């Protein structure tokens, strides 16, 4: 999480496709050379299911025809091995921003009087601020990026804890409670509203 990215890892194309079809990912990094089902077939299956999630293909092949085949199959970007980790991260972040329906702030998100600093993990309300823990930050970021939607507990679990985590709904409830206390601490009128049986959303923006 040093680079504020949570990732699930699959080691074959079949399990990778199963994860991808869950619809919880902002960006998919897909190696072409995978056992059981190659990356191109995984990509075709993703697009066949009408999923628009950005896909970055990784491959050791650098022939133009291979790249064309990848793009024709629905890839959004292409990175040839070997590559620098910094370049991979930069491309993943760029694809994530491109896929977002929210205004693209490089270092912050805003909702009403709230400002979330994406670099320092600080939440601001006017002159008041508070530092968020990693899970608190991830949940608040999710809520602010999807401010017009109700986010289910299941979605929060998958996005924040990961596909294979054994965390449960009460983990979400605990961290929502932490966030509410911190919103109160900085005297914000914005609150995390519970939609019973559905999930959570932010309310109170002016």
Please report, for the domain that includes residue 20, its CATH number: 3.40.50.2300
Whether 8 is covered by a domain: the verdict is no
The CA-based angle 24-173-28, given to 5 degrees, is 15
Whether 164 is covered by a domain: the verdict is yes
pLDDT at 60: 79
Considering the domain architecture, whether residues 131 and 177 belong to the same structural domain is answered as yes
Q: Three-state DSSP class for 76?
A: coil
* Mean pLDDT (the chain, rounded): 85
Whether 198 is covered by a domain: the verdict is yes
Counting the structural domains of the chain, the total is 2
Whether 36 is covered by a domain: the verdict is yes
Whether 1 is covered by a domain: the verdict is no
Considering the domain architecture, whether residues 84 and 121 belong to the same structural domain is answered as no
Whether 151 is covered by a domain: the verdict is yes
Q: Which domain holds residue 114?
A: 108-203
Q: Three-state DSSP class for 89?
A: helix
Q: Three-state DSSP class for 96?
A: helix
> What's the CA gap between 134 and 39, in Å, rounded?
32
pLDDT digits (tens, 9 = 90+) for 19-40: 888 777 889 999 988 999 998 9
pLDDT at 104: 45
Considering the domain architecture, whether residues 46 and 91 belong to the same structural domain is answered as yes
- Tell whether the model's pLDDT for residue 2 goes beyond 80: no
- Tell whether the model's pLDDT for residue 131 goes beyond 60: yes
pLDDT at 103: 47
Mean pLDDT of 7-18: 89
Its pTM surpasses 0.85 = no
First CA to last CA distance, the chain? 32
Considering the domain architecture, whether residues 156 and 194 belong to the same structural domain is answered as yes
Considering the domain architecture, whether residues 120 and 192 belong to the same structural domain is answered as yes
Considering the domain architecture, whether residues 156 and 92 belong to the same structural domain is answered as no
Mean pLDDT of 101-126: 79
> What's the CA gap between 59 and 32, in Å, rounded?
6
Considering the domain architecture, whether residues 120 and 176 belong to the same structural domain is answered as yes
pLDDT digits (tens, 9 = 90+) for 54-111: 999 888 776 667 778 888 888 888 888 888 888 888 888 888 876 654 444 457 888 8
Considering the domain architecture, whether residues 23 and 95 belong to the same structural domain is answered as yes
């Amino acid at each position: 999480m040093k680079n504020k990215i949570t990732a699930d890892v699959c080691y074959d194309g079949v399990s990778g496709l199963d994860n991808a079809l869950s619809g919880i990912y902002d960006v998919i990094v897909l190696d072409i050379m995978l056992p059981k089902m190659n990356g191109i077939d995984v990509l075709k299956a993703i697009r066949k299911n009408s999923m628009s999630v950005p896909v970055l293909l990784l491959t050791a092949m650098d022939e133009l025809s291979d790249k064309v085949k990848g793009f024709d199959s629905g890839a959004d970007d292409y990175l040839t091995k070997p590559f620098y980790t910094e370049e991979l991260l930069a491309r993943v972040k760029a694809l994530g921003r491109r896929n977002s329906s929210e205004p693209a702030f490089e270092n912050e998100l805003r909702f009403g009087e709230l400002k979330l600093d994406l670099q320092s993990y600080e939440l601001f309300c006017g002159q008041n601020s508070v530092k968020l823990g990693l899970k608190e930050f991830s949940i608040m970021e999710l809520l602010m990026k999807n401010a017009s939607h109700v986010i289910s507990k299941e979605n929060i679990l998958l996005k924040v804890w990961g596909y294979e985590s054994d965390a449960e709904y009460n983990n979400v409830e605990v961290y929502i409670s932490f966030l509410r206390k911190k919103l109160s601490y900085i005297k914000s009128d914005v609150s995390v509203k519970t939609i019973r049986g559905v999930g959570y959303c932010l309310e109170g923006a002016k």
